[in-house]
Amino acid sequence: MRLTHPLRLPKPTDRYRLGNSGLWVSPICIGICGSPETVARAYEAGVNFFFVSADLHWPMYEATRAGIARLVRDNPARRDDLVIGVVSYLDDPLFSALQFNEVIDSVPGLRRVDLLIAGAVSNDQNFSRITALQKARSTRHVGSAAIGASFHKRPYVTVAAHAGLLDVHYIRYNTAHPGAQFDLFPYLPADRSPLLFNFKSMMFAVPEPTFKTLGLGPHAWLPKPTDYYRFVLSDPHVDGILCSPMSPQEVDSLVQALDDRALAPHEQQYMVWLSSLVHGTMASAMGA
């Protein structure tokens, strides 16, 4: 966890301890990919953290699973360097375990899931998925060392963080939904060990044709796609990002962007203002 405004953005080769699990992960977590080659390029750049879904999203993660299988096939020793997270949106521990085992069986050489993730926690019933994961982690050959959750309602993040239930929390924080600055970040435990990762970093990115129609004057600037990742990682409360590069070139662009400095507070404020201007999100963004 970073406690001060960072001058240096995290790099794919950095490693953060995954809560109390004993695992170490890159600050870049790769989810949906465009090709197995994209997975290979991410690993070459230093990424060792991957996210897979086993439910109705199964076809969207085909390239990610194939890419992980190739990494392990080409060098079986890599398996111990990889941290593979699988998300389940089910509340029953038995059916959750079946989903995790389905991923294990579909990826030759995977052998285990390292991180079990409860998906889309947004109400009290969903919150019970975390308990389901605690039961599922001991079944068959899941063998998980860590538990996490993705949250669609931030109050549940605060509860989980103070209770020490998880090793990683996935949240949604971006230029169109900056509310975490006000109702989450200030209330996180100062000495927390669980990591905080973001998803949907590029949601509501402003397209160039739209920007040109605004006529904002010479001091306005159009953020690059990778600036939206810089926006998220410039906040010291955010440890990493879940992203979905569609090509090796997109991986390279992200790596290059992380070599740049963190955004200054006034640059972050400008990006929030620009997104709200284009998408009309100002009123909802403060609480979304």
**Mean per-residue pLDDT pooled into runs of 10, the chain (288 residues):** 68 96 96 97 98 89 98 96 92 74 93 91 82 69 79 93 93 94 94 94 91 90 96 96 97 96 95 90 43
Q: What is the spatial distance between Cα 268 and Cα 273, in angstroms, rounded to a whole number? A: 9
Model pLDDT, residue 137 = 67
Angle 50-55-59 (CA atoms, 0-180°, nearest 5)? 70
Phi, psi angles (nearest 5°) of residue 29? -115, 125
**What's the whole-model pTM score?**
0.91
- pLDDT of 8: 87
State how beta strands 83-88 and 146-151 pair. unpaired
Contact assessment for residue 9 and residue 2, using Cβ atoms and an 8 Å cutoff: no
Domain residue spans in the chain? 16-285
- Determine the pLDDT at residue 148: 94
Closest CA to 49 of 99, 96, 117, 129: 117
Which residue shows structure tokens 């600050």?
27
Q: Residue 283 has what pLDDT? A: 37
Give the helix/strand (H/E) hosting 274: helix 265-279
Q: Which residues contact 27 (CB under 8 A, 6 or more apart)?
A: 10, 11, 12, 14, 16, 233, 239, 240, 241
- Radius of gyration, alpha carbons of the chain: 19
DSSP string, 90-156: -S-HHHHHHHHHHHHHHSTT----SEEEEEEE-SHHHHHHHHHHHHHTTSTT---SEEEEEESSHHH
Residue 235 is classified by DSSP as: S
The CATH code of the domain at 16-285 is: 3.20.20.100
How far from chain centre, in Å, is Cα 81?
A: 19
Smallest CA-to-CA distance from 161 within 235, 237, 88 is with: 237
pLDDT at 6: 65
**Rounded to 5 degrees, what are φ and ψ at 24?**
-125, 130
